[in-house]
Structure 1
């Protein structure tokens, strides 16, 4: 998370109070007694700088194997020189982490932490009786080991306290990073002792005999670690692709895609821009894991980073804000730094654009641009599959003529609603069955196509009148059914009467197909409606339909049509 300006200022103040004055006091009390061999000290310093500049990652943890070098420096020259070399190693660390002026407080904090770690571990070991420059093996091993343990422990106390005070995420005092640091003691401690003793007996050649091979091994481990990270990200991308393929709706796929992406990469802001008939529109926008609404026109988006991808059909990566500030920021927040934008393509056709951003500089690696492109391919394929599935399901659930739900869907939904009623999730469940009066006469007089026109037009009228009321379906022939969750019989009767009146007063336009010269005419129809309500009338889904059907034909049709009738036991 971002550190407040007040906290950053406090870090600078603490550093100014402790580090410069502390270095001066160390010189007064712990300056080296022996004459410094400058070529040897230069060799130690070069090793420290190179080791700091070339860290590597293991299991997601960044490892700086500098402990063995500062151990050898301390054994040789004491705490004052070791502090100076550790402060010098801050420079390559700043370069490696690409720390800019706005977040230079991080370098200052590292300088303070390195200083305190060196002082506390060095002074304690000296107070325990270690003689700087000793070549007694038992003293070197004993005090050297104590020095490294105190060094690592102090480092973690300071770092843990800093993360807690600034309310940043941490893994606890004994997290994964702590385990790797203590494991580093086991690896580096023998090297530190050996480097010190070898330098004492053979001189500067020790740096070539031990330091150079160690750096080469570190470099090889770094290369292997990077390849492992790439392979791990590729495997993770493949797993995400499989998960996307298992989702059957577009909303599920979009939600899963952005969620997984934010867990895989340090993403603070994510946006998906859809391309419809050549125009860009926002499909989804998330900032800090919260959905937001953004309304930008195609022309506005053309001037943004998404517009660059749209025009060039190429992925782009920006490491910091200064690289893209001259461009139109568009929809991106002011504190965005690193950005990846990738076209979402299917069959070599751009269907959308992904934009992800982080508040951190250099948050994304170059290879991750290809990983995101791969994920976008999985995403596009999964969306296409979901659309196909939805179209297939929709066709199987819809009446081809009226475009309303069919009997198959009606039956399934009615079972679900009845179960909800029995489980107490619904208070009541009503059903209307509506039938067009004398529909056969319309077909005989004007033709079946005219009858179909009336069915289609009536379906549109019912959709408008019943919007948000319940589920409308075509039952078959000229019959329609409406499922009304949480509607009482009285409410259902009122709604049915309003429908009947509306239909009776509406003129329907048809073409007279049976005449020599077909023409458009206006006709009027009436309807009869039957009502049944659960749990008063029944407690089974199919019984609710039968009861409404009985009410329709006995209570409405037999009584003269164009009326509403309730089921009576």
Structure 2
């Protein structure tokens, strides 16, 4: 038997031993005064209506029923108040949305409500209060004792339960303070209801009850509007943050993080819709990105497929609603799911899926906000793509597609700062120049020379890979920058590169001939090397040193050579 099952049986056993016998004893010891069924029915009606209109205060549902329960207690005593409280408990259990099993919540809450009714009722009677009294001072004084004991009993029971279950126990939390404040606010209404009904009759319930219910409904509507406005404000803030991101990856990561935080979810997934398949693009679980190999699915499969086919967002409140639909990856402890298409220019590009381990975790207005955010996300992603293209054009050589001098200059500054701070040990530059390049242009034409520059650029990229940065310095000169490469290692790389180019067959087309024939030619490189901090700790000086090594050590020494700068 699992621990949860044991706790469930223990709660029901305690309930059986406490609540039914307790009700019998209360009825015998504190008999109920004569009851007018119509009056009691009116009380119960307004009580139920109040239970159906909870307020959301500090993120929790609050039921403004004290104005009825106090009046019922003052008129009919402990037994009827216990029955009314138990009815409230059942209504709250049915309406509340939580992932706790009902088989545990019902006995626990029934015991708690029963004990609170008993403690507060006995405190009222023990202090000298009388049921049915119409003395205003008597009612105010002893009724306040009833309410204060009720609030404190509630907090003590919750605190004790948290201690027993190992949960974080906190006496008088923010929710408790709100409960206490509401008690003080509703107490005069309860006294007015009790006295008015005693003197006027059941019509007093209508005179006071209907305005109270209308006020509660208006406050609930205002409260819901405030919640929506708060979510809209958060959505606006997310939109501004997305607009500030320059790369597609930054937009994507920031969007997933911010949306997960806004809706307080356990899981968030961005699914790409491409070529008739669904591909997992981002997985964000328990506040961190995960990387798993998830096989692609056909576009119409699973929950994401349903969203794409219907082109409509969707909410599932519990696992039983979607477990027959799901295909592919989703955590086993998932309950609630909110899913919306990501569309751009009326075309679906993907799907955003948010999931929670709680039942009924999402509200209908949140789905509309998420749909709006997904559209904003798609626009931001498109804008980031344009920005990246513009940046690439400003950083790249138009002919060779290598980085240009502007980019090299900035990268050299940043890397030299790393050397000075000790983040890296060495910074090496390799300056490459094509020997006799003017003669190639003169004999074969400038377009043929450009073909050689582009072919050499691809070779340099392949040789350097992710180890360094390759840039076109100007004309037929190229610069390679390596972090954490010693001078000896850089010289070895340069020598291997020189030999490779010397043997490479470059195919060019003779632009200056009528036949424009294809010809194979060979070129050689002269290469200069300098290293920081040995040769210099200033970016421009390091570049000049590599240039000096190239011309003095390699060019003037006969070309097709590698030379290192020496002081």
* Residue number in structure 2 paired with 1:28: 25
1:23–1:80 Cα contact (<8 Å) kept: no
Which segment is superposed worse, 288-297 or 468-477? 288-297
* Residue number in structure 2 paired with 1:116: 115
Q: Distance in 1 between matches of 2:358 and 2:347?
A: 32
Secondary structure, counterpart of 1:159 in structure 2? helix
* Residue number in structure 2 paired with 1:553: 551
Secondary structure, counterpart of 2:118 in structure 1? helix
Which segment is superposed worse, 103-112 or 74-83? 103-112
1:11–1:109 Cα contact (<8 Å) kept: no
Secondary structure, counterpart of 2:520 in structure 1? strand
Q: Select which of 249, 255, 264 maps to 1:266.
A: 264
Superposition map of 1:292-311 within 5 A:
292-311=290-309
* Residue number in structure 2 paired with 1:75: 74
Q: Distance in 2 between matches of 1:446 and 1:523?
A: 10
Superposition map of 1:37-52 within 5 A:
37-52=36-51
* Residue number in structure 1 paired with 2:469: 471
TM-score if structure 2 supplies the norm length?
Answer: 0.93
2:299–2:308 Cα contact (<8 Å) kept: no
* Residue number in structure 1 paired with 2:423: 425
Distance 1:99 1:231, change over 3 A: closer
Which structure 2 segments of 5+ residues have no match?
none
* Residue number in structure 1 paired with 2:560: 562
Which structure 1 segments of 5+ residues have no match?
none
* Residue number in structure 2 paired with 1:212: 210
1:542 positional shift:
0.2
1:141 positional shift:
0.9
Distance 1:158 1:219, change over 3 A: same
* Residue number in structure 2 paired with 1:181: 179
1:383 positional shift:
1.0
Secondary structure, counterpart of 1:302 in structure 2? coil
* Residue number in structure 2 paired with 1:146: 145
* Residue number in structure 2 paired with 1:60: 59
1:528 positional shift:
1.4
2:433–2:476 Cα contact (<8 Å) kept: yes
Q: Does 1:14 align with 2:11?
A: yes
Q: Distance in 1 between matches of 2:151 and 2:522?
A: 89
Superposition map of 1:371-450 within 5 A:
371-450=369-448
Question: Over residues 521-561 of structure 1, what are the superposed CA-to-partner deviations in whole Å (9 max), with x where a residue is unaligned?
Answer: 33222211111111111111000000000001100111111
1:166 positional shift:
5.2
Q: Does 1:241 align with 2:220?
A: no
Distance 1:173 1:560, change over 3 A: farther
Which segment is superposed worse, 60-69 or 153-162? 153-162
1:412 positional shift:
0.5
1:7 positional shift:
4.3
* Residue number in structure 1 paired with 2:526: 528
Secondary structure, counterpart of 1:537 in structure 2? coil
Which segment is superposed worse, 480-489 or 441-450? 441-450
2:284–2:290 Cα contact (<8 Å) kept: yes
Number of residue pairs matched? 565
1:481 positional shift:
0.8
1:12–1:108 Cα contact (<8 Å) kept: no
1:73–1:81 Cα contact (<8 Å) kept: yes
Secondary structure, counterpart of 1:330 in structure 2? coil
Distance 1:52 1:256, change over 3 A: same
Q: Distance in 2 between matches of 1:447 and 1:392?
A: 31
1:231 positional shift:
2.1
1:295 positional shift:
3.9
1:19–1:112 Cα contact (<8 Å) kept: no
Question: Over residues 142-192 of structure 1, what are the superposed CA-to-partner deviations in whole Å (9 max), with x where a residue is unaligned?
Answer: 12112212212222333345456656678x544432232122012210011
| Superposed CA RMSD | 2.3
1:396 positional shift:
0.2
Distance 1:168 1:389, change over 3 A: farther
Q: Distance in 1 between matches of 2:66 and 2:495?
A: 86
